[in-house]
């Protein structure tokens, strides 16, 4: 398979469409048109799953004030149009309550495989994907085209090490991936977590967020506790402290209680016990 030929054909058609528009244009495929939003279907192979709503709203306001500067690209499917490039612009038009959008109708015969490739490559080259989406895109291209990391590196103009390191993020736990996607931890943090046990990843992710650890501080924490059965984060230290003094609590609290994480849960059955507890505090 020739990776990238579908993308090249579309881009050539886009360039021709702009030339037609500038030169007066003629009424044929490739010309910039106004198309009803309801007639456009998103690309089912779009690898981008997360769209920043704040950024979409800003784009929507900009389009309302200044118009759409760069048309989307669609394919004519007979009774509808298939969106090939420009999903953010398409969604921004929907947010703005517009009925139509400026679009280039590309006169290209493209099959499902090329459509999938086009969606992946467009997003990779535009750097529109988060780290996990990008990793899935790399993985899909490698599997579909049965190519090596080196070959993919040549095509997408990314270093082989960048591709390999990004792909390793797919081995992270679902919890760590979720926090990476949401931006609670950085890709630098995520790379350090790769290869650790899932339960340890969760504790470290919570520690990164709670204590605002830098990547360097995370590396030092892991290095300091290397070889130990359990890395002591601040939360685990607090639990250990409470457990250590459990007998002391038992001597002083005449009520049933439970230690949970860094909290003491005291169960008071009635009003008399509540009054007794309050008098102890006083």
| Residue 94 contacts residue 37 (beta carbons within 8 Å) | yes
Percent helix, strand and coil across the chain, each to the nearest 5: 60, 10, 30
Distance CA 148, CA 144 (A): 11
- Is position 87 annotated as part of the catalytic site? yes
Among 87, 117, 122, 133, the one annotated catalytic: 87
Contacts of 149 (CB under 8 A, 6+ apart): 142, 160, 163, 164, 167
Distance CA 155, CA 56 (A): 30
Q: Which of 152, 106, 136 is nearest to 4 (CA)?
A: 152
| Residue 145 contacts residue 3 (beta carbons within 8 Å) | yes
The residues assigned a catalytic role are 87
């Amino acid at each position: 398979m020739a990776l990238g030929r579908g993308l090249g054909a579309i881009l050539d058609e886009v360039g021709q469409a702009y030339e037609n528009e500038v030169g007066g244009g003629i009424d044929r495929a490739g010309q910039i048109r106004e198309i009803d939003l309801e007639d456009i279907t998103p690309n089912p192979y779009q690898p981008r799953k997360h769209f920043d709503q704040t950024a979409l709203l800003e784009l929507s306001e900009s389009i309302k004030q200044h118009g759409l500067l760069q048309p989307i690209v669609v394919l004519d499917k007979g009774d509808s149009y298939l969106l090939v490039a420009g999903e953010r612009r398409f969604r921004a038009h929907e947010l703005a309550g517009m009925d139509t959008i400026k679009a280039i109708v590309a006169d290209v015969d493209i099959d499902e495989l090329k459509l999938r490739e086009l969606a992946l490559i467009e997003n990779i080259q535009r750097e529109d994907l988060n780290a996990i989406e990008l990793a899935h895109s790399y993985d899909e291209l490698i599997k579909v085209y049965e190519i090596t990391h080196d070959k993919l590196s040549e095509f997408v103009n990314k270093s082989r090490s960048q591709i390999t390191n990004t792909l390793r993020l797919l081995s992270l736990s679902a919890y760590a991936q979720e926090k990476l996607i949401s931006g609670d931890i950085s890709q630098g943090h995520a790379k350090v977590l790769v290869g650790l046990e899932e339960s340890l990843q969760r504790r470290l992710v919570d520690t990164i967020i709670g204590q605002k650890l830098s990547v360097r501080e995370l590396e030092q924490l892991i290095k300091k506790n290397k070889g130990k059965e359990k890395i002591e984060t601040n939360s685990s230290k607090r639990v250990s402290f409470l457990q250590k003094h459990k007998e002391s609590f038992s001597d002083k609290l005449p009520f049933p209680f439970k230690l949970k994480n860094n909290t003491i849960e005291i169960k008071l059955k009635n009003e008399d016990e509540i009054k007794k507890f309050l008098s102890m505090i006083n």
